[in-house]
Amino acid sequence: MTALYQYPDQAKLKRVVPKSRIYDAVGASTALKERFVREVDQIVWSYKLAPETVNLPATKAVPELQVFRLTLKNRDLSNEVLRAIDRAIPFPLIFELEHDGKIQVAAARKRPSEADSGKWVVSDHLRSEWASSDSSRASLPVALNLGALYEQILTALMPITAAPSEDMDTRMERLEAVKAKEREIKQLKTKLKRETQFNIKMTLHGQLREAQAAFEHLKKTE
């Protein structure tokens, strides 16, 4: 499934967003400003997906979807930059990151806070693989409303397959569990390489087998 979509012409904006707007909105630290300067060349608000531009009704959680194009100075864009932009813009965002003829799609699951309706809860950012900037784009997924469209775009970015009848909250929780298990496996492999005592190596091998089995189980969609 691709995450690179052909957005309708009537949704096109192409408005440059000054970095200072992001700084002011989030109270950016000097370190964060330096990241923006070092990593981002230009921020463009490319598309506004709203009821009047895509003919889909809004939902409470997703009144609009915004597509931002970031032209990068290098491919190593930090998540802190994406998170800052997400914090500054009070709508769910889809990012298209472009550098040296390549493009990557990124997005976080963003929803209104249940504790404070004026704030947003932002997950870790999901990213596609890098592809050629002139890659063919898919039509937008068929959806009944903007909320469903947003979920399908996020699902296309996930490295796990959606299970039948699995809602977005459950899918995100499973994805986080998969990532945590990946980190655990990596740590165990590192320990195994460094360990010299036979009995401890055997224990680590057992822990690694269990972690790998749990990882495969989490990825299953049955």
Which candidate, 63, 114, 72, places its Cα nearest to that of 90?
Answer: 63
Give residue 91's pLDDT: 94
CB-based contact 171:163 (threshold 8 Å): yes
Residue 14: left (phi > 0), alpha (psi -120 to 50), or beta? left
Q: Which residues pair with 139 in a beta bridge?
A: 6
- Tokens found for residue 16: 């440059």
Give residue 99's pLDDT: 96
- Tokens found for residue 207: 């822990």
pLDDT in tens, the chain (222 residues): 568 999 999 999 999 999 999 999 999 999 999 999 999 999 999 999 999 999 999 999 999 999 999 999 999 999 999 999 999 999 999 999 999 999 999 999 998 888 876 788 898 899 999 999 999 999 999 999 999 999 999 999 988 887 777 888 888 888 888 888 889 999 999 999 999 998 999 999 999 999 999 888 888 765
Give residue 221's pLDDT: 65
Stated pTM of the model? 0.84
Dmax (CA) of the chain:
67
Phi, psi of 118 (to 5 degrees): -85, -5
Give residue 1's pLDDT: 52
